[in-house]
Amino acid sequence: MIKAIIFDFGRVISAQKPASLFRRYEEDLGLPPNTLNTIMFSSPDWQKALLGRKTIEEFWYAVGPELGLNSRDEIDGFRRRYRSDEAVNDGVMELIRKLHDRYKLAVLSNSPPGLSQWLIDWKMLDLFDTVFCSGDEGVVKPDAAAFEITLGRLGVKPNEAVFIDDTMEHVEAARKMGLHGILFTTAEELGEELDLLLRKEH
């Protein structure tokens, strides 16, 4: 029987930003099209932030000059803009609220340190029994330890948990450990897949 449901954060609980928004960023920064994400998220500094070896502030100050931001004020300004454009995936949040009283819920995310504060800011931290943030733990998905720690805190066995992520590599890692894995595409499809799975495993 399924007792717990574990959600990724980025592009699952938080909505995927539209491509048009990245084009505006790149135009304003004077960057070639389709380069901003590569500069930011292929950076060794991003990997260090995900493992807690850099704070999110240190990451931005390291990557800022590569984006054409040449002072701390410019970096801070763009960082505030980038953060303010983040939004909740309302469909996913509706599902989480429906599941809240019936299952143990968790967040398992590769994120820089401090994800819990983000959840507090979005007034959703109390919906989750535990939050695993790689930057606070020093372990990133798809490392098995990330799943083991989360399952341990929830007090459930692998086959009693569902893991939802938008990255197939992470979903496959969870399945190899015995969790039920769902690759996230849209809130609507997630709702349908969860409904089928939960009825089958009830």
Here the tokens at position 41 are: 């998220």
> Residue 201: its pLDDT value, please?
78
Dump pLDDT digits (tens) for 132-184: 999 999 999 999 999 999 999 999 999 999 999 999 999 999 999 999 999 99
SS3 content of the chain, % helix, strand, coil (to 5): 55, 10, 30
Class of domain 4-15+87-201: alpha beta
Residues of the chain with CATH 3.40.50.1000: 4-15+87-201
Strand, coil or helix: 57: helix
Dump pLDDT digits (tens) for 83-140: 999 999 999 999 999 999 999 999 999 999 999 999 999 999 999 999 999 999 999 9
